[in-house]
A = this chain, B = another copy of it.
Amino acid sequence: MKRESWQGNFSSWFNKALREADVMDTRYPVKGLYVWRPYGLRLRNHILEIIRELLEKSGHEEVLFPLLIPRDIFEKEAEHIRGFENEVYWVTHGGSTKLDIPLALRPTSETSIYPMLKLWIRSHADLPVKIYQVVNIFRYETKMTKPLIRLREVTTFKEAHTAHASREEADKQVQEGVRIYKQFFDRLGIPYVITRRPPWDTFAGAEYSVAFDTLAPDGRTLQIATVHNLGQNFSKVYGVTYEDLEGKHQHVYQTCYGISDRVIAAVIMVHGDDRGLCLPPVIAPIQVVVVPIPYKGQEKEVQKEAEEVSNELKGGMIRAHLDDRDLRPGDKYYRWERRGVPVRVEIGPNDIKRGQVTLVRRDTGERMEAPRQNLVAEVKKLLDGIMRNLTRRAKEFFEERIHEVGDTESATRVLKEKGGIVRIAWCGKESCGLKLEEETGADVLGLEFEGKEVAGKCPICGKKTKTCVLMAKTY
């Protein structure tokens, strides 16, 4: 399938892909709010299953906190509230009654969760605490909104929060958070860079932030996950302490890390093509669609065979769907291609006669014949192959768009001509970093999290440096 034209006008491709695949309806009458349709919601839920599995396996427990946070509690951590004050929705009335204290719709949940952690944690034996929740959060975005990417209601906010006895353990927890997200994105075939965000782009209230970025087809980066080390900033404000082995009360060290609907946007944009969605089998709501190709006089035989094939696939734990509606096969092909179903099985009289089925791959469009015997194993192998191909293809696209540059002029030119990410030396001074952004019109993503040292010169001040920074135009 061609994967060129969708790079030309990514925004219109994205909206059309969402609409034609019945992922979301963007016509809800409030800016920045969208409606999940059944197919999209199933896709979302399969993605959530994976992150839940990874979190549970590593000892995180799911909780659920209230949406509303009283203003006085919300505003305790000064830096945190400064970071969010322009974005918070306020509930001021219940019925016609004015509330004594306005209630914030959570923009994130540190300030609702940590006062309760104060009650839950008594001694070192209660640590570490590792919890997470999947909730809706709200941000009063004034910029242009975009489905799944820039929302006023983020409907799929998975946030994890942890508490530890020492700074070292919190640092180690950041590593675990990064590891979990790596596994998560690897399972989805989404390529990424990991950077330690510069101080001026650190989460409000955190000591440092690590972030994952992937690439939209138009060459801009999309932040898809963040991991924050909060140090004792919040625990001091909310009084979250534990009694250590000597009986002394210490403030806990905290981390938090989150992903959002943007992961779903990434799956769609990273793997999609000119024909719409192209879903990784692991999360496709329908992995295989079975389409009977009836010929006059043989309708019953073909229908029966298609039913048997569909049931056999389901029995083999494959998410199969039989499309036996009274429509032309071509119309069905079109519909399921737009929805990104990885494999189509066609069954006609000839296939039956020859004891075979016809398989069509969504990713390459390739048609092939497969023996009717052993079909489940054959289809599973094909699904694995599609997953590998999607992953490889996305990785290639991504790596081709990471460019080494030596000065801001070539950074600007490369970002303009080719898009993507540039790697450029940086001395580490904030003033030089801000100047880099100013001169290129791009954002500093940060220092590579597991980057190698290099020998270079800061293009702003000319100082020798061993560190590089990644920069890009961002969403």
User: Which A residues contact B (CB, under 8 angstroms)?
Assistant: 25, 27-30, 33-38, 41-42, 45, 61-70, 73, 85-97, 102-103, 105, 112, 115-116, 119-120, 131, 136, 138, 140, 152-153, 155
Contact = CB atoms under 8 A, between A and B. Distances in A.
A25 B89 contact: no
A116 B26 CA distance: 10
Contacts of A67: 136, 138, 153
Nearest to A66: B33
Contacts of A69: 30
A241 B115 CA distance: 50
B115 A66 contact: no
Given A34-B66, A62-B38, A92-B93, A119 B87 contact: no
Q: Is the interface of A mostly helix, strand, loop or mixed?
A: mixed
Given A35-B116, A67-B136, A153-B67, A90 B87 contact: no
Contacts of A41: 62-64
Contacts of A97: 140
Contact of A37 (B28, B42, B63, B105): B63
A93 B94 contact: no
17 contacts: A25-B120, A27-B119, A29-B73, A30-B69, A35-B63, A38-B61, A41-B63, A64-B155, A68-B138, A68-B153, A87-B94, A88-B95, A89-B103, A90-B92, A90-B93, A92-B93, A97-B140
Nearest to A112: B28
Contacts of A35: 63-66, 116
Contacts of A70: 29-30
B63 A30 contact: no
Contacts of A27: 116, 119
B28 A66 contact: yes
Contact of A25 (B37, B93, B119, B155): B119
Contacts of A95: 85-88, 140
B90 A63 contact: no
B86 A96 contact: yes
A129 to B, nearest CB: 11
Given A25-B119, A62-B41, A90 B89 contact: no
Given A25-B119, A30-B70, 12 more contacts: A28-B66, A29-B70, A29-B73, A29-B115, A33-B68, A41-B64, A45-B62, A68-B138, A86-B95, A88-B95, A91-B92, A94-B140
A63 B131 CA distance: 27
Nearest to A39: B61
A475 B351 CA distance: 64
A140 B42 CA distance: 32
B153 A30 contact: no
Q: Which 6 A-B pairs have the closest CB atoms?
A: A94-B140, A38-B61, A36-B64, A33-B66, A86-B95, A90-B93
Contacts of A68: 30, 33, 138, 152-153
A100 to B, nearest CB: 11
